[in-house]
A = this chain, B = another copy of it.
Amino acid sequence: MTVKRRGKAMEQAVLDKHLVLDRQLCFAVYATAHAFTRAYKPLLDPLGLTYPQYLVMLVLWEKGEVPVKAIGQSLDLDSGTLSPLLKRLEQAGLITRLRDVNDERQVLVRVTAKGLALKQQAAGVLGAIGKAIGCDSDEIDALRQRLHDLRAQLQSSQDG
């Protein structure tokens, strides 16, 4: 009886430890993502952009004109997320959306002059993030690389 109860207690302890440890990495990523979004907010508010909208604009600033599909592949987002988001960017006058004449399924997203103008502001402001995370470039790059690998591993284990 006492033996049995000690056994149960130990099982509980092992289970607890397992759950707590298990939680740590995923939660660390989860909480850090939110911390990043919150850190960006005061910087992006003056530009009238949310953080996901800013990510989309980064893609567009780099590539000029891109089909929705390609934006989705860059950011790992689907049309359920992008369609309304792009509609808001269009309404804000930062982008245009036009059906591709060569393939009417596709919608080509293009930055407007107003959208391009934002790029300068974004660059000026976003050095602040670099300072916020303490700019040891090598360390940052190592961390980025690890996260990239981790994400690849998670995604590959999804398919298998």
Q: Which chain A residues have a beta carbon within 8 Å of chain B's beta carbons?
A: 15-16, 18-20, 22-40, 51, 55, 58, 61-62, 75-76, 119-120, 122-123, 126-127, 129-134, 139-141, 143-144, 146-148, 150-151, 153-155, 157-158
Q: Are A61 and B19 CB-contacts (below 8 A) given A154-B32, A157-B132?
A: yes
Measured in the bound complex, the distance between the Cα atoms of B36 and A132 in whole Å is 25
Measured in the bound complex, the distance between the Cα atoms of B151 and A24 in whole Å is 13
Residue of B nearest to A15 (CB): B123
Q: Are A143 and B146 CB-contacts (below 8 A) given A15-B119, A36-B154?
A: yes
Measured in the bound complex, the distance between the Cα atoms of B127 and A15 in whole Å is 11
B32 touches A29 (CB 8 A): yes
B119 touches A132 (CB 8 A): no
Measured in the bound complex, the distance between the Cα atoms of B154 and A9 in whole Å is 39
A66 to chain B, nearest CB (A): 15
